[in-house]
């Protein structure tokens, strides 16, 4: 890429204030990072240990994602990864959730050739993208407007947390990813281990409370109160994040002739 080549040519890689980055254009990158809480995710908050039977038929249990096409085309091949040798597995089925290989991967034609070796491809997504078109089964997932959630804003700056209130009911046949995988686990009697008896809001509260515990040593610990999510009729609103409250008034820019 041009920025990498430029930094290399001028000798800036590895020097203070030099180098290159690919995520400086969004989420508050380039500003000082705050020492607030960092929320965990669903898988990180589960207390049920995963099941590993250790039987991978002499293949490695994990491989670099950038080499999954090589695994489809050359199963059993040994490659070097982070200073160790791994053996690419024989892949018969792929489940893609929250990712679109036809967007982020390279050498699409080569990937299509590898795709033909798979017996089944399942995609969970809220957009009809290229990966869906190359799938045997597509499970439509809800967008952020069709579910309740909690998230951080400013991934780089770590500015705060935001309550994401559901706006509309799930449209057509779309379902929450949590419900999709909970029902799949139910098919082989692992629903209780997956959900731990919690629903959508139950998991949001658990993840939030983990953030509260994480923030206690900080000067401004998060409150234990879950935001009600009530809407205002105007564009003035009040935000309460990590121990302080402030009012904001939004001005929407418009085009005029």
Residue scoring higher pLDDT (6 or 71): 71
Residue 115 lies in a domain: yes
Report if residue 25 sits inside a domain: no
Q: What is the pLDDT of residues 64-121, one digit of tens each?
A: 998 999 999 999 999 999 899 999 999 999 999 989 999 988 899 999 999 999 999 9
Residue 254 has pLDDT above 60, yes or no: no
d(CA 41, CA 104): 22
SS3 state of residue 115: helix
pLDDT tens for each residue of 151-203: 888 777 777 888 899 999 999 999 999 999 999 999 989 999 899 999 999 99
Domain contains 114: yes
- pTM for this structure? 0.74
Element (H, E) at 237: strand 236-241
- DSSP letter string over 198-212? --HHHHHHHHHHHHH
Q: Is pLDDT at 229 greater than 70 in this prediction?
A: no
Among the ranges given (20-24, 96-100, 209-213, 246-250), the one the predictor scored with the smallest mean pLDDT: 246-250
Q: Which CATH number is 77's domain given? A: 3.40.50.740
Identify whether 13 is part of a domain: no
Residue 165 lies in a domain: yes
**pLDDT tens profile 44-64:** 667 777 777 677 778 888 899
User: Domain range spanning residue 178?
Assistant: 34-249
pLDDT at position 45 is 64
Per-position b or e across 124-146, b if 16+ CB within 10 A of its CB: bbbeebebbebbeebbbbbeeeb
In a domain, 201, yes or no: yes
Is residue 24 a part of any domain in this protein? Answer: no
Q: What is the pLDDT of residues 24-51, one digit of tens each?
A: 777 677 777 777 778 877 776 677 777 7
Is 2 within the bounds of a domain?
Answer: no
Domain total of the chain? 1
8 Å CB contact between 232 and 221:
no
């Amino acid at each position: 890429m041009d920025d990498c080549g430029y930094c290399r040519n001028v000798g800036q890689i590895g020097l203070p204030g030099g180098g290159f980055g690919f995520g400086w254009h969004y989420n508050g990158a380039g500003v000082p990072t705050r020492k607030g809480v960092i929320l965990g995710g669903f898988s990180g908050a589960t207390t049920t240990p995963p099941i590993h039977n250790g039987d991978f038929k002499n293949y490695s249990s994990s491989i670099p994602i950038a080499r999954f096409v090589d695994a489809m085309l050359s199963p059993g091949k040994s490659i070097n990864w982070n200073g160790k040798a791994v053996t690419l597995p024989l892949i018969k089925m792929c489940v893609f959730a929250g990712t679109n290989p036809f967007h982020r991967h390279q050498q699409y034609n080569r990937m299509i050739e590898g795709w033909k070796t798979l017996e089944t491809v399942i995609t969970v997504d809220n957009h009809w993208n290229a990966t869906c078109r190359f799938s045997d089964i597509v499970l439509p997932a809800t967008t952020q407007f069709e579910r309740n959630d909690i998230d951080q804003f400013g991934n780089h700056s770590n500015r705060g947390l935001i309550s994401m209130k559901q706006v509309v009911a799930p449209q057509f046949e779309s379902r929450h990813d949590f419900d999709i995988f909970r029902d799949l686990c139910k098919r082989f009697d692992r629903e209780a281990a997956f959900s731990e008896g919690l629903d959508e809001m139950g998991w949001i509260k658990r993840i939030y409370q983990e953030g509260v515990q994480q923030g206690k040593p900080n000067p401004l610990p998060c409150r234990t109160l879950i935001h009600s999510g009530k809407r205002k009729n105007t564009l003035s609103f009040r935000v309460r994040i990590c121990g302080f409250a402030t009012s904001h008034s939004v001005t929407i820019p418009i085009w005029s002739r």
